[in-house]
């Protein structure tokens, strides 16, 4: 049992890229997790009905579905998958600014923009993370 526990916690077998990617993803998910619970309330306050809030929420899914094949092609062409993750993280900054502007100005266009950027950013993030892990781990 002792050998199994020590082997389980041995991180020498894990590639350096996977360790960094895990740390960055953990930090992003912790930070984004606080705001994610408030987004449905924000969407409902702009939509005033569940149908309108659902339409605003679907902007994310539509942007994600459109961006996913394009990001996949970029993943095949780029040598470093971490570049895709960095682009996704950079886009999340603009997403946060758009949510902030939507709250300050009470303009639905910023909600649509934020949800669209969020979908594209998650496409970059998810494809980049999965590609990086597949390329660097046995």
Residue 51 lies in a domain: yes
Q: Considering its fold, how many domains does the chain have in total?
A: 1
Query: Domain for residue 39, yes or no?
Result: yes
33-90 tens-digit pLDDT: 777 788 888 888 888 888 888 888 899 999 999 999 999 999 999 888 888 988 998 9
CA atoms within 13 A on the CB side of 99: 22
- What pLDDT score was predicted for residue 16? 77
Predicted confidence at residue 11, as pLDDT, reads 67
Q: Write the DSSP symbol of residue 12.
A: T
pTM > 0.85:
no
Does residue 9 lie within any of the structural domains? no
Provide the 8-state DSSP code for 48.
S
Q: Which has more confidence, 26 or 65? A: 65
Exposed e or buried b per residue across 57-96, where buried means at least 16 C-beta atoms within 10 angstroms of its C-beta:
bebbeebbeebbeebeebbeeeeebbebbebbbebbeebb
Token pair listed for 43? 């969407």
Mind listing the pLDDT tens digit for each residue in 83-114? 898 899 899 899 989 999 998 998 999 999 99
- Give the containing element (helix H, strand E) for 121: helix 108-136
The answer to whether residue 112 sits within a structural domain is: yes
The pLDDT of residue 3 is 53
How many other β-carbons are positioned within 10 Å of the β-carbon of residue 1? 5
Q: Do the domain assignments include residue 4?
A: no
Domain boundaries, position 109: 15-136
Q: How far apart are CA 23 and CA 63, in angstroms?
A: 27
């Amino acid at each position: 049992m002792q050998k199994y526990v020590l082997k389980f916690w041995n991180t020498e077998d894990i590639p350096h890229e996977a360790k960094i990617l895990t740390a960055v993803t953990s930090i992003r998910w912790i930070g984004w997790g606080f705001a994610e619970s408030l987004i449905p309330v924000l969407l409902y306050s702009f939509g005033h009905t569940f149908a309108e809030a659902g339409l605003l929420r679907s902007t994310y899914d539509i942007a994600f579905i459109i961006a996913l094949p394009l990001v996949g092609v970029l993943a095949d062409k780029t040598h470093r998958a971490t570049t895709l993750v960095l682009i996704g993280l950079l886009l999340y900054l603009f997403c946060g600014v758009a949510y902030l502007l939507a709250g300050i100005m009470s303009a639905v266009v910023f909600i649509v923009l934020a949800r669209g950027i969020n979908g594209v950013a998650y496409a970059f993030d998810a494809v980049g993370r999965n590609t990086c892990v597949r390329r660097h781990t046995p």
